[in-house]
Amino acid sequence: MSVMRSVLLAASQNKWLRENAVNYPFVRRSVSRFMPGESLDAALTAADKLAQKQIASVFTNLGENVTDRGEAQQVTEHYLEVLRRIHGAGLRTEVSVKLTQLGLDLSKEFCFENLEKIIVREKKEAIVWVDMEASGYVDATLEIYERALRKYPNAGICLQAYLYRTKKDLEKLLPLRPSIRLVKGAYKEPPQIAYPKKQDVDENYFSLAQAMMAAQATGQCVRAAFGTHDVKLIRRMADHAIQQGFPKQEFEVQMLYGIQREEQERLAREGYRSGVLVAYGTYWYPWFVRRLAERPANLWFMARNLFAS
Ligand SMILES: Cc1cc2nc3c(=O)[nH]c(=O)nc-3n(C[C@H](O)[C@H](O)[C@H](O)COP(=O)(O)OP(=O)(O)OC[C@H]3O[C@@H](n4cnc5c(N)ncnc54)[C@H](O)[C@@H]3O)c2cc1C
């Protein structure tokens, strides 16, 4: 892991920075590259524009590690309102939730109840995605996800290719007919549990993607979505999908709002399933700094915003 990435990932967890950095106008200007705005209305407007380009969207209301029951309930209520607005607007938008925002740190049972309320409100043909957080939460997240999936076939989970364990987690999930979004992984993890070299993460990603596509072909994996901006890897996976006889519409790539827009549009134009995760909300600091860590060159972009102020 590069030194800069480590420093930024440590900064993403710093309380002082979280409380203070968000007030600087140049930081707020920089975050606007990755978020259409803090409000749900801003996210809905962005989803509408994406839909016009045949790009689907997934909403996530930023926040994590909620330690107050009332707050976790408010987040749950918020997602119910989000689904009401999405359905009302006729948008093909799904939601992706973080279990620590639904109260996982308080109680697994309480968190499951909150997740269940959201899944029950979603249409059966749309997936409710569960994000994967730092490694200390993987067991609990999978436990809650499996419980949800046994009851609701439209629950989806994110798996991280940087973890050594993911191959086994995938094998264990497949008999339950999951929907999976595969990502590389965004947190600071030690080499005992995660591949430290990017090249190894990329190779593991490709190998997991092949396993997911094989499972998708037999109906074992209900939806396989590849959450990445890595254009080389996307082409490699698309070639594999075509070799395996997949119709283009069944090869799905999801990216983050504002990153690789050209590629998002190219995939949609060429008939692949292209989606964008749209994040919004006021609690954006740790999420934003993880985006900087993924591409430290983004710091130059932030510096330009500083000098432009
Ligand atoms: C839809 C979606 C959902 C996600 N959900 C989760 C989750 O639940 N849990 C989790 O741990 N992680 C999640 N992530 C983040 C993921 O783990 C990676 O940290 C992130 O996607 C960067 O990795 P990459 O696959 O794009 O590849 P990389 O090899 O990091 O990047 C490939 C190329 O993409 C571009 N790029 C990548 N990131 C950025 C950026 N921030 N700014 C500008 N350009 C960039 C650069 O050109 C870079 O060279 C999600 C990502 C996506 C797209």
Q: Say how far apart CA 198 and CA 224 lie, in whole Å.
A: 22
pLDDT, residue 103, reads: 97
What amino acid occupies position 281? Answer: G
Tell me the pTM. 0.94
Cα-to-centroid distance, 68 and ligand 1 (Å): 30
Residue 28 tokens read as 């707020």
Going by CA atoms, what residue is nearest to atom 9 of ligand 1? 132
Pocket of ligand 1 (CB under 6 A): 131-132, 158, 160, 183-187, 227-230, 254-256, 259-260, 277, 291, 294-295, 298
97: phi then psi, degrees, rounded to nearest 5: -120, 150
Residue 173 tokens read as 């999930």
pLDDT, residue 222, reads: 97
Cα-to-centroid distance, 221 and ligand 1 (Å): 22
Cβ contacts of residue 90 below 8 Å, gap of 6+?
Answer: none
Do 34 and 291 contact (CB within 8 A), yes or no? yes
Q: Which of 179, 140, 144 shows the shortest CA–CA distance to 158?
A: 179
pLDDT, residue 286, reads: 84
Q: What is the mean pLDDT of each run of 10 residues along the chain (309 residues)?
A: 82 82 78 89 97 97 92 97 97 97 97 98 97 97 98 98 98 98 95 97 98 97 97 97 93 96 96 97 85 80 67
Cα-to-centroid distance, 308 and ligand 1 (Å): 27
pLDDT, residue 308, reads: 64
The distance from CA 271 to its chain's CA centroid, rounded to whole angstroms, is 22
Q: Which of 49, 44, 78, 73 shows the shortest CA–CA distance to 62?
A: 78
Could you list the active site residues?
131, 181
**SS in 3 state form for 143-207?**
HHHHHHHHHCCCEEEEEECCECCHHHHHHHHHHHCCEEEEECCCCCCCCCCECCCHHHHHHHHHH
